[in-house]
Amino acid sequence: MQTIENISNLRSEIYLWRQQGLKIAFVPTMGNLHQGHIALVEQAKMRADKVVASIFVNPMQFGANEDIDNYPRTMAADQEKLLAAGCDLLFTPTPAIIYPKGLDKQSYVEVPNVSVGYCGESRPGHFRGVATVVCKLFNIVQPDIACFGLKDYQQVQVIQTMVEDLSMPIEIIPIETIREASGLALSSRNNYLSADEKKIAPALSQNIQWLAQAIQSNRDFISLAKQAASNIDKAGMRTDYIHICHARTLQPANADDKALVILAAAHCGKARLIDNLRVNLS
């Protein structure tokens, strides 16, 4: 596996692959990799000839009250995991490479509608930062396909919408969430959980599962979501939001909708955890 920091060197390598007619998959990350990330690389490897991963802690998607300096950076361990998973090239740009003019003078990408609400409300400017950096990385790597984890469901919808709206010739491959035995979705943020908080945290996924069952026979979505939020709070977490939405538009679901997604976020100690579950009603 090659590790490249420079954009021109990366493009030169990819040009050689293109000359050979090879299909290229891309897995963008912020590092501190866990098995959920590795599953993306493994799925990418099954779908393409060459896999490019990136590790870039993107300052544009961090809010004023979010400490980017404390975001865990584990490059050596990440490289070992990527190598074992069959990654062919790792791109590790610096902020100066991605944003040479600085954030204040950087053009940005704004994706309407699906960026609004939920994590978009809790983290203002977050999805602008996500869409901008992913657009830049897509333009640098120019992959045929890109793999994203469905744990960040709203993010996947933002990226899918951006690709469609900007006519990017890239297929977005959503990959199912990898979970611990307790049901807790794997996340870099789980590293912030104490031993006691790790026991509490599965209440988020448990109540999403409860809600998925409840809406099969009860279309009072708002009341059921409030009950799930109360259950999460009683377990010792602090609910940020829990909503039942249309699976594609992310608008609040109505009683006639069939393809739904439950979106949820909650604070557990220092960690803000997100999770979701898609539900098809008959």
Instruction: Give the pLDDT confidence score for residue 282 in this predicted structure.
Output: 81
Distance CA 17, CA 12 (A): 9
Show the DSSP H helices in 107-263 as ranges.
119-122, 126-141, 153-165, 195-200, 203-214, 221-234
Q: Which of 37, 126, 243, 246 is catalytic?
A: 37
CB 213 within 8 A of CB 223: no
Distance CA 52, CA 22 (A): 12
Instruction: Give the pLDDT confidence score for residue 38 in this predicted structure.
Output: 97
Taking phi first (over 0 means left), then psi (-120 to 50 degrees means alpha), and beta for anything else, what does residue 118 get?
left
**Does residue 37 have an active-site annotation?**
yes
Q: What is the pTM of this model?
A: 0.95
Distance CA 251, CA 233 (A): 24
Distance CA 241, CA 170 (A): 32
Q: What is the mean pLDDT of residues 123-137?
A: 97
Instruction: Give the pLDDT confidence score for residue 63 in this predicted structure.
Output: 86
In the predicted model, is pLDDT for residue 103 greater than 80?
yes
* Confidence at 70, pLDDT banded by 50, 70, 90: confident
The mean pLDDT value of the chain amounts to 96
* Confidence at 203, pLDDT banded by 50, 70, 90: very high
Show the DSSP H helices in the chain as ranges.
7-19, 35-47, 75-85, 95-98, 119-122, 126-141, 153-165, 195-200, 203-214, 221-234
